Structure 1
């Protein structure tokens, strides 16, 4: 029998399910919404998991994109536009 404290919380189950997909396993991209994250595990827990895995995440207009690898991320800009 599993003790109550040994069972994953709903938040932990959500994290496990979210990060258990081919995109994550293969170093691809995970896309979700900030609303889904807040409802599922909470933004702090989600960001902690992204960091624990060494991934990078970006948020824009309620959309969250996670780069599921340890490579650097660059924002692409035309050469004639200054960084603002």
Structure 2
């Protein structure tokens, strides 16, 4: 018998993201852009990050979310 994984609702998906230890500690989380678009929607995701005051960068098919309000400095 195969165990089927129940897909998360958009609200469940974003709650799961912010329940991660990294997010709770003000760290960094990464998510594939395609997963964000599939489970939550790009626009809704970026609006939620803006609402929370969390900077987001996109690189190589990944969103990198800084789960804090600290400034980001590019050093190299």
The answer, yes or no, to whether TM exceeds 0.5 is yes
In angstroms, what is the RMSD of aligned CA positions?
1.4
- Tell me the TM-score normalised to structure 1 length: 0.75
Tell me the TM-score normalised to structure 2 length: 0.82
Gaps of 5+ in 1: 1-8, 78-84
1:48 is matched with 47
Cα deviation 1:52-72 (Å, max 9, x = unaligned): 111111001201111110001
The residue number in structure 2 matching 1:59 is 58
Aligned-pair distance for 1:12? 1.4
Distance of 1:46 and 1:19 partners within structure 2:
12
User: What is the Cα deviation at residue 41 of structure 1?
Assistant: 0.3
SS of alignment partner, residue 16 of structure 2 = helix
Number of positions where the alignment pairs a residue of Structure 1 with one of Structure 2: 69
Q: Spell out structure 1 runs of 4+ moving beyond 3 A.
A: none
Which structure is larger by alpha-carbon Rg, 1 or 2? 1
